[in-house]
């Protein structure tokens, strides 16, 4: 999402800059030579086309709906693309300490993969939940409890401001032990 926002923001800024430049050019042209035709934007033709429109016209309502939907999309995109930091306990009131969800997932994943019975594991972390998916050759329930205990112990060692929920799923893989 952040990548899309990083591409969309300069494009919107460029569009607004071009529109502003066209407005300045047309305004200066209208002041200097009022009788001349427009340079870039055919605004007299546009003016005559929109003179007959009212707020009840279907095209005006359609444009308003499209502008509203695009604005809502940009607003939601901006809200979703914000950073989702995981807050750690502050050492002093003047200092705020955070880490990224990716770093937390990497630390938990390293801890889970160090377990002898785990063949492979993937971890997704946020400030509110850690999801662990692991594969083992042993019975899944025994390994699941061991992984949950191990992750819980690790989270106790970390100075997290808020303890995330832990979801662990373990599958038994077929293979030679």
Check pLDDT > 60 for residue 155.
Answer: yes
| Domain closes at, from 15, 50, 80 | 80
Cα–Cα distance measured from residue 148 to residue 139, given in angstroms and rounded to the nearest whole number: 15
Q: What is the pLDDT of residues 3-34, one digit of tens each?
A: 777 888 899 899 999 999 988 988 888 888 88
| Domain closes at, from 80, 108, 134 | 80
Cα–Cα distance measured from residue 109 to residue 2, given in angstroms and rounded to the nearest whole number: 24
Would you call 91 helix, strand, or coil by DSSP? coil
What percent of the chain is modeled with pLDDT above 70? 97
Q: Are residues 58 and 114 in the same domain?
A: no
CA of 153: how far to CAs of 41, 97, 123, 162, 163, in Å? 67, 21, 16, 15, 11
Angle at 154 between CA 151 and CA 159, to 5 degrees: 130
Q: Are residues 103 and 156 in the same domain?
A: yes
- Range of 20's domain? 2-80
Q: Are residues 122 and 160 in the same domain?
A: yes
- The number of domains in the chain is 2
| Domain closes at, from 80, 108, 125 | 80
Q: What is the pLDDT of residues 136-154, one digit of tens each?
A: 988 888 889 999 999 999 9
């Amino acid at each position: 999402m952040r990548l899309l926002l990083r591409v969309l923001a300069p494009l919107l800024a460029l569009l607004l800059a071009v529109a502003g430049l066209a407005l300045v050019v047309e305004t200066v042209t209208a002041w200097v030579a009022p009788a001349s035709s427009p340079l870039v934007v055919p605004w007299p033709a546009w003016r005559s086309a929109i003179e007959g429109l009212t707020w009840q016209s279907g095209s005006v309502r359609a444009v308003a709906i499209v502008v509203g939907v695009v604005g809502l999309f940009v607003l939601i995109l901006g809200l979703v693309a914000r950073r989702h930091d995981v807050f750690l306990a502050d050492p002093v009131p003047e200092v705020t300490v955070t880490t990224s969800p990716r770093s937390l997932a990497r630390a938990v994943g390293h801890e889970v993969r160090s377990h002898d019975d785990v063949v492979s594991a993937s971890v997704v972390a946020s400030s509110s939940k850690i999801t662990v998916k692991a594969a083992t050759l042993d019975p899944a329930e025994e390994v699941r409890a061991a992984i949950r205990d191990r992750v819980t112990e690790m989270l106790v060692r970390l100075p997290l401001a808020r303890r995330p929920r832990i979801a662990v799923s373990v599958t038994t893989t077929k293979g030679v032990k």
